[in-house]
Chain A
Amino acid sequence: MIVRKTLRVLALAGLLAFGGAACGDKTVTTPPTASAETTLVTDTDSGVSTVANVDTEKSTATASDATDDARLNEVDQMLRDIEADLGAADQDADTPEGDPTR
C-alpha cells in the first residue's frame, strides 16, 4: 500500500516537473515578436526616441544634400550644353558663305 502511494506521488511529481520544464522551454524558445520590440522602444522612450529623431534628421539632411548636389550637377551639365551651343553658333558664323558662282 505504502509502495503504491509512493509510486503515485512520484509519478505525479514527475508529470509536474516535465510540464514545468516544457513551459519554461517554450518561454525561452519563443522568438521575439513585434509587440515585444514596440514595448522595448516605448519602455525606454527617452533614449530610443532621441536616437531615432537624430537618425531621421540625419537622413533628411543627407537626402536634402543629395537633391541639391544632383540639381547643381544638372545645372553644371546645362552649362556645358550652353557652352556647346555658343561654340556651334560661333562656328556657323565663321563658316565662309562666299560667292557660289566662283
Chain B
Amino acid sequence: MKTRFALVALVAACLLTPTAALAQRPEAQRPERPEQTERPERPERREAAIDGVKTRCLNQIDRRQRALSADKARLEKARFLTDAHQAALEAINNQTSSGLARLADVIQGEDNVEELRAECRQIVEGFRVFALVRPRSRLVTASDRAIAATTKLGGVADRIQAAIDQAKAENRDTAAAEASLATMRAAIATAASDAGGVYEAVIHLTPADYNANNAVLDRPRGKVRSARDSLKQAIAAGRDARQSLKASAT
C-alpha cells in the first residue's frame, strides 16, 4: 500500500513539475519583455504623435489661408461692392490671415501634446474662416449688388413714369401701366430696405459671436434672399408696365 502510494506520488510529481515550470517561465519573462521594448519606444511614439497632430493642424491653417487668398482676389474684382465695404472686408481677411500665421508659428514650436491640441482647436474656434469670415464677405457683396440694382431699377421706373405721363397727355389708357409701376416701386423700396441693413448687421461679428450663436448669419442671409426676391418682382413689374404702355399705343 505504501509502495503504491509512493509510486502514485512520484508519477504525479513527474507530471506536475514541468507544468509548473512552464507556467512560471512566462511569468518570469513577461515583465522583462515590455521593459526591454517599451522603454526606448515611448519618447519616439510621443514625438511621432505630436508631429502627426502638428502636420494636420498646419494643413488646416494652409487650407484656410488659401480660402482667404481666394476671397481677397474675389473682393478685388467684385463689381458694385463699395470701396468702404471692400476695405472693411479686406481688413478682416488680413487680420484673420496674420492671426493664423502667428498661430502656425506657435504650433510649429509646441512640444506639449495638451497645449498643442488646445492651440489647434483655436484654428477653428478662434477664426471661423468657413463659418463666418467667408460667408460674411459673400453676403456683403450680394447686398451691395442688390443696392446697386435698386438704383438702376429706380432709373427705369422714372423713365416708365415719363412714358406714362406722355401717354396720359395723348389720352391713352395708362391704368395697367400705373398699377405695374406702383408694384415695381414698392418692390424696389423693399429690396433697398432689406439689403441696406446687411452690412451693419454682419461687419462687427466676431468668431466669439459665432461660437455663442451658430445662427448669427441666418437673419442677414434671409434679408439678402428677401432683397433678391423683391428685385425679381420689380423687374417683372417693370416689364409689365412697359408692355401695358405698348399695348395702349396700338
Q: Which residues of A contact B (CB under 8 A)?
A: 64-65, 67-68, 71-72, 74-76, 78-79, 81-83, 85-86, 88-90, 92-93, 95, 97-102
Pair A79/B232 contact, Cβ less than 8 Å: yes
Chain B residues within an 8 Å CB radius of A82? 142, 145-146, 149, 224, 227-228, 231
The verdict on B192 contacting chain A, using a C-beta distance below 8 Å, is: no
Partner of A86, one of B116, B142, B163: B142
Chain A's nearest CB lies how many Å from the CB of B166? 9
User: Closest 6 interchain pairs by CB?
Assistant: A85-B142, A89-B138, A100-B60, A89-B135, A95-B130, A92-B134
Q: What's the Cα separation between A50 and B25 when bound, in Å? A: 124
B46 within 8 A of A: no
Question: Can you list 22 contacts pairing A with B, beta carbon distance less than 8 Å?
Answer: A67-B159, A71-B152, A71-B156, A72-B156, A74-B152, A75-B149, A75-B152, A79-B149, A81-B79, A81-B145, A82-B149, A82-B231, A85-B141, A86-B228, A88-B134, A89-B134, A90-B135, A97-B128, A99-B121, A100-B56, A101-B116, A101-B120
Question: CB distance A68 to B225 under 8 Å?
Answer: no
Instruction: Write the residues of chain B forming the contact surface with A, with a CB cutoff of 8 angstroms.
Output: 53, 56-57, 59-60, 79-80, 116-117, 120-121, 123-124, 128-131, 134-135, 138-139, 141-142, 145-146, 148-149, 152-153, 155-156, 159-160, 163, 217, 221, 224-225, 227-228, 231-232, 235, 238-239, 242
Q: With contacts A76-B235, A86-B221, A100-B56 known, what are 10 further pairs, Cβ within 8 A?
A: A68-B238, A71-B152, A75-B149, A79-B231, A85-B145, A86-B142, A89-B139, A92-B131, A100-B60, A101-B121
Which residue from chain B places its CB closest to the CB of A94 in the assembled complex?
B130
Check B53–A101 contact: CB distance below 8 A: yes
With a 10 A CB-CB cut-off, give which of A65, A68, A75, A81 has the most chain B CB atoms.
A75
Query: Would you call B156 and A93 a contact (CB within 8 A)?
Result: no
Is A100 a contact partner of B57 (Cβ separation < 8 A)? yes
**How many angstroms from the CA of A75 to the CA of B156 in the assembled complex?**
11
Asked, given contacts A64-B159, A65-B242, whether A100 binds B120 with beta carbons under 8 Å apart, the answer is yes
Residues of chain A within 8 A of B235, CB atoms compared: 72, 75-76, 79
Contact A100 B124 (CB under 8 A): yes
The residue of chain A having its C-beta at the shortest distance from the C-beta of B148 within the complex is A78
Bound: A11/B245 CA distance, A: 76
Question: Which of A64, A76, A88 has the largest number of chain B CB atoms within 10 A?
Answer: A88
For the complex formed, measure the closest distance between the CB of A22 and the CB atoms of chain B, giving whole angstroms: 57
Q: Which residue of B lies closest to A85 (CB)?
A: B142
Interface contact B124-A97, CB-CB below 8 Å: yes
Minimum distance in angstroms from B123 CB to a CB of chain A:
5
Please tell me if the beta carbons of B124 and A64 are within 8 angstroms of each other in the complex.
Answer: no
Closest chain B CB from A82 CB (angstroms): 5
B124 touches A98 (CB 8 A): yes
- CB–CB A86/B224 < 8 A: yes
Instruction: Collect the chain A residues with CB atoms within 8 Å of residue B123's CB.
Output: 100
Complex formed: what's the CA distance from A19 to B117 in Å? Answer: 116
Report chain A residues within 8 Å CB of B149.
Answer: 75, 78-79, 82
Contact B57 A78 (CB under 8 A): no
Residue of A whose beta carbon sits closest to that of B133: A92
